[in-house]
Chain A
Amino acid sequence: MSRSLPAALPRSLLAEPEPFDDLLPEERPFPEAGPPEGAGPALRAVPSLAEAARRVRPTTLAVDRALPVLEALAGLLPDGLRRGITVGVSGTGARSVALALMARATGTGSWAVVVGDGDLGLAAAAEIGVALERLVVVDAPDPGQWAPVVATFVGAVDLVLVSPGHRPSVGDVRRLAARCRERGSVLVHLSPGVDHPVDGWPGRLDLRFSVDEVGWGGLDGERDRLRSRRMDVSVGGRGLPTEGRRDALLLPGPDGVPVRQ
């Protein structure tokens, strides 16, 4: 995206404020200019303002760099959903798992965007706990516009759920992942297993959720109804034990809200 700006206007005045101004100096993309070399020994290096600020700044805990998740998911994600990662969810029940991942964060002020999944059941989303007032649904864009649309939301909202109807290009996926890392948004790739063509994600996903076993409860009698679903969910990926983590959930639970079993 090349734009022509008047030379007189510094770009920084128009840009949005960076959400991650609290990066440690070693994490900054450009090192700051230190004190000049060869200063005499009599002149003790006075700490620069940035250095002083770093020393007195309160520590950023990992909790602040993570989005909260429902209690039912505590077995799978004990530290919450780390910001800046990409997540894949696949298999039968993938939509419910994706909604459960987003639910708690939308309730605490984060926004979520769904790009290109017109079938998503919004009533179910509300029952699982997603705050509908902070949910935005975008129609599936043309393949050519998919990447710009998703990139616009990455960085602006905390949770971006994508379900592309096409196979995105490797370059687009890599750029989106980098943008997530930089801006702290979480990109969730949904590949529903039921009645939907399964599309691969041409890139590495930091976390992969999959649903292994599913069983519905409540259809015991003739006049009964679907009440809850027991599912075994496993997650693997970066920062987790090699065998991953596995937990049994009731999703949806007896009253819609996911419950850990």
Chain B
Amino acid sequence: MNGSIATPAAVRILVVGCPDWPLVALGVVSDEPALVLGAGRVVAANGPARAVGVARGQRRREAQFLCPEVRVLARDEGREARGFEAVVSALGAVTPWVEANRPGRCSFGVRGPVRLFGGEVALVRHAAEVVDAAVARVGSGSDGGPGSRVPGCQIPGCRVGVADGAFAAGLAARGGGPAPEHPMIVPRGGSPAFLAPLPVEVLLPVESLAGSSAGPTADLVDVLVRLGLTTLGAFAALPVADVLARFGTVGLDAHRLASGIDDRPAGHRPAPPDLAVSVDFDPPVDRIDRAAFAARSAAEALHERLSTRGMACTRVVVEAETEHGERVSRRWRDEGVLGPAAVADRVRWQLEGWLHGPPAVRPTSGITRLVLAPDEVVPASGRQMGFWGGVSAADERAGRACARVVGLLGPGSVRIPEWRGGRDPDDRVALVPFVESLQETGSVGDRGRGSARSDQEVKPWPGALPGPSPAAVHVEPMAVGVVDAAGAPVTVDGRGGLSAPPDRLVVPRSSVGTRPAAATGERVVAWAGPWPVDERWWDPLRRRRRVRLQMVTADGTARLVVLTDGRWTVAATYD
């Protein structure tokens, strides 16, 4: 692979998966075949049903054809969430950093607890015992329902996988046997080798296995299979630049997963602290539907707040507090980006588990406060479609080339202009880093469209330098001297008046990269100004006070010369 994209070492992750969770949560543990139906498709089936060919994603008719005596149960997501909340809080005894992914699956970083328990094998054993005990309590159907536990039957033991990165760890958990005896621990650095022989279909999100196969990842997998790239290893062997060129960002993300380098979306970072959304309830809420309703609008507010900053969140902390000061805080993470609906679902799952949980953990009063805090964010890849039909081929080619160069030179090296407005030429347009996603380039157009001219006229900047703007704005302004006809330095008094008309522009000998002729001074043939400006005088740290002059020297060059703190510099050239 010749891709030189910086690859931070993947974090070692332990994933706990509870097989057939929709069934276990319903308390159905028996030797009779049973399945759970959600949205018309099989979402879970127990061992005896699977043995005769019932599989996830089948229709009820197909499943009943294969196994006429199967017991069909309706899905109850509330119960799933409630039951799993008990499992996750039991895991709180192992590590405080449990991330719930969805009911039936959670994960945590291995680095801390592995030292406490003395090795990954011991940690896995301990975590599996804790989870199995908690699952047994849930599965015993303590809160009624259609449970029909046959005493001799075992609840399927949880599966545990440890690997570099959550993607590989999740697959390891799926591939391993019942945990305490047969966990699958992929050695450090072994994720690429572990992933290589797996089929590319594992790239599909779990939900789409059960439902219709649509979406960009499904298309990608479809094409890969038809290209003869049936394993992750074969896909990972392709050069990253070619994958990006042919499949775009979806391909790039999938390629990262398949290579086992780092499965977090590119460009993730911790969230700024001031983005949390909190809702206060007065009177306190003790009914789940009211809390869920508030959670929905809070999730929308969070989404709005993030998207105005061009971010989306991949991990969110949901914290609820009651009148009596009891609180529960849970970290939710998803493979993709958590949209408002997904966040609202997770809040509902968590509160359901808490408010309707076993009496030991149930709060004694209503919820008074709900806080949604984004924990990890990525640049938003969602975009608004252009009015006349979106991104052209030229936009896409340009976006790919930029992404390739970002890979070559590092993040932040490729930048795009953004109109800001200001009094000086260097303030008016700012450069923001190009974000490594094709969709972003589409939104660049949206952001900048029409702004260059209209804003300039609409927004007044009193004291702004009159146009036209200089074509060269120096990143490092060059220090110069401005002298009057008598050879004395030109100064500016408190009211912005010049001590004398400028006569010569003197470039000190020490400054490099200038023509030697300038060292003796160039005659100023015309000048304009001064334009004094005193910005942010209320802020002692960011205050800027300066006087600007336009000067044309004998060779016809026009410069913008600025006096700040008694020093003259050439800030820009009208090149």
Q: Knowing A121-B572, A133-B448, say if A95 contacts B528 (CB, 8 Å).
A: no
Between-chain CB contacts (< 8 Å), 11 pairs: A3-B2, A5-B238, A8-B228, A111-B397, A120-B471, A132-B429, A133-B449, A139-B414, A145-B408, A192-B472, A218-B528
Interface assignment of B395: CB less than 8 Å from any CB of chain A: yes
Closest A-chain residue to B572, C-beta based?
A121
Chain A residues close to B by CB (< 8 Å) = 1, 3-6, 8-9, 13-16, 92-96, 99, 109-111, 113, 118-128, 131-139, 141, 145, 148-149, 152-153, 156-158, 192, 194-197, 213-216, 218-219, 223-229, 252-253, 255-256
The answer to whether A127 and B469 have CB atoms under 8 Å apart is yes
Chain B residues within 8 Å of A256, by CB:
467-469
In the complex, the answer to whether A219 meets B227 with C-beta atoms within 8 Å is no
Complex interface bits, B158-195 against A, C-beta within 8 A gives 1, otherwise 0: 00000000000000000000000000000000000000
B552 in the interface (beta carbon within 8 A): yes
Q: How far apart sit A6 and B400, CA to CA, in the bound complex (Å)?
A: 23
Task: Report if B249 contacts A (CB, 8 A).
Answer: no
Q: Which residues of A contact B404 (CB under 8 A)?
A: 152
Residue B416 lies at the interface, judged by CB distance under 8 Å to chain A: yes
Are the C-beta atoms of B526 and A216 separated by less than 8 Å? Answer: yes
Q: By CB atoms of chain A within 10 A, which of B2, B239, B417, B573 has the most? A: B417
B550 near A156 with CB under 8 A, answer no
B528 engages A225 (CB within 8 Å): yes
Interface presence of B213 (CB below 8 A): no
Residue of A nearest to B409 (CB): A141
Q: A226 contacts which of B241, B401, B570, B574 (Cβ < 8 Å)?
A: B574
Q: Which of B245, B415, B468 is most buried by chain A, counting CB atoms within 10 A of its CB?
A: B468
Instruction: List B91-127 residues whose CB lies under 8 Å from chain A.
Output: none
Q: Which residues from chain B contact A134 at a C-beta distance below 8 Å?
A: 395, 398, 445
**Mask of B528-559 contacts with A, CB within 8 angstroms, 1/0:** 11000000000000000000001010011110
Contact with A along B432-476 (1 / 0, CB 8 A): 001000000000111111011100100000000011111111110
Known: A121-B572, A123-B469, A256-B467. A137 touches B425 (CB 8 A): no
Which residues from chain A contact B239 at a C-beta distance below 8 Å? 3-5
* Closest Cβ–Cβ distance, residue B222 to chain A (whole Å): 14
Whether B277 sits at the interface, judged by CB under 8 Å, is no
- Report Cα–Cα, A111/B448, bound state, in Å: 14
A92 touches B401 (CB 8 A): no
Cα distance, A8 to B231, chains bound together (Å): 14
Query: Is the Cβ of A156 less than 8 Å from the Cβ of B528?
Result: no
B514 within 8 A of partner (CB)? yes
Contacts A96-B575, A195-B514, A256-B469 given; does A124 touch B409 at CB 8 Å: no
Cβ of B72 < 8 Å from any Cβ of A? no
User: A216 and B552 in contact (CB under 8 A), knowing A93-B575, A136-B434?
Assistant: yes
Is B527 located at the chain interface by the 8 A CB criterion? yes
Rounded to whole angstroms, the CA-CA distance of A1 and B407 in the bound complex is: 15
Residues of B within 8 A of A156 (CB): 397-398, 400-401
Check if B408 sits within 8 Å of A229, measured CB to CB.
Answer: no
Q: Does B279 contact A (CB under 8 A)?
A: no
> In the complex, which residues of chain B have a beta carbon less than 8 angstroms from the beta carbon of A213?
556
Contact A226 B448 (CB under 8 A): no
Give, as a whole number of angstroms, the nearest-CB distance from B471 to chain A.
4
| 0/1 string, B409-425, CB within 8 A of A gives 1 | 10001111111000001
Decide if A95 touches B471 in the complex (CB within 8 Å): yes
The answer to whether B413 and A138 touch across the interface, beta carbons within 8 angstroms, is: yes
The smallest beta-carbon distance between B447 and chain A, in angstroms, is 7
Give chain B interface residues in 192-243, CB to chain A under 8 Å: 227-229, 234, 237-239, 241-243
Chain B residues near A6 (CB-CB < 8 A): 229, 234, 237-238
A126 touches B453 (CB 8 A): yes
Q: Bound complex: CA of A228 vs CA of B246, how far in Å?
A: 47
Q: Is B468 touching A157 in the complex (CB atoms < 8 A)?
A: no
Contact B227 A13 (CB under 8 A): yes
User: Contacts of B401 on A, CB cut-off 8 Å?
Assistant: 113, 152-153, 156-157
Cross-chain contact B556 with A216 (CB below 8 angstroms): yes
Does B526 lie within 8 Å of A124, measured CB to CB? Answer: no
**Nearest chain A residue, comparing its CB with the CB of B478:** A195
Q: Mark B560-575, 1 if CB is under 8 A from A, else 0.
A: 0000000000101111
Question: Please, how many angstroms separate the alpha-carbon atoms of A40 and B487 in the complex?
Answer: 96
Known: A16-B245, A197-B513. A226 touches B468 (CB 8 A): yes
The reply to whether the CB of B341 lies closer than 8 angstroms to some CB of chain A is no
Closest to B415 in A: A137
B416 & A136 in contact (Cβ 8 Å cutoff): yes
Q: Is the Cβ of B472 less than 8 Å from the Cβ of A120?
A: yes
Nearest residue (CB) in B for A1 is B2
Question: Would you give the shortest CB distance from A40 to chain B, in whole angstroms?
Answer: 43
**A162: min CB distance to chain B, Å:** 13
Contacts A5-B239, A9-B228, A194-B575 given; indicate if A124 touches B528 (C-beta within 8 A): no
Complex Cα–Cα for A106 and B483 (A)? 43
The reply to whether B394 and A194 contact each other, CB–CB distance below 8 Å, is no
Mark B504-534 against chain A: 1 for CB-CB distance below 8 A, else 0. 0000000001100000000000111100000
Q: Which B residues touch A111, using CB under 8 A?
A: 394-395, 397-398
Give CA–CA (A160, B2) in the complex, Å. Answer: 25
Chain A residue nearest in CB terms to B512: A197
**Min CB–CB distance A161 → chain B (angstroms):** 12
Cα A215 to Cα B558 with chains together (Å): 9
Q: Which residues of B contact A137 (CB under 8 A)?
A: 414-417, 431
Query: How far, in angstroms, from A256 to B465 measured CA to CA in the complex?
Result: 13
Please name the residue on chain A nearest to B446 by beta carbon: A133
Q: A124-B469, A157-B398 are in contact. Are A14 and B413 (CB under 8 A)?
A: no
With A6-B237, A135-B416, A194-B557 already in contact, 15 other A-B pairs whose C-beta atoms are closer than 8 Å:
A4-B239, A6-B229, A16-B397, A119-B473, A121-B469, A121-B472, A133-B448, A136-B402, A136-B434, A156-B397, A194-B573, A197-B513, A216-B558, A225-B529, A225-B550
Interface contact A194-B452, CB-CB below 8 Å: no
Contacts of A136 in B (CB 8 A): 398, 402, 414-416, 434
Chain A residues lying within 8 Å of B469, measured Cβ to Cβ, are: 121, 123-124, 126-127, 256
**Contact (Cβ within 8 A) B472 A126:** no
The CA-CA distance from A51 to B573 in the complex, in Å, is: 56
Residues of chain B contacted by A5 (CB below 8 angstroms): 238-239, 242
CA distance A60 to B7 in the complex (A): 46
Q: Which residues of A contact B550 (CB under 8 A)?
A: 219, 225-226
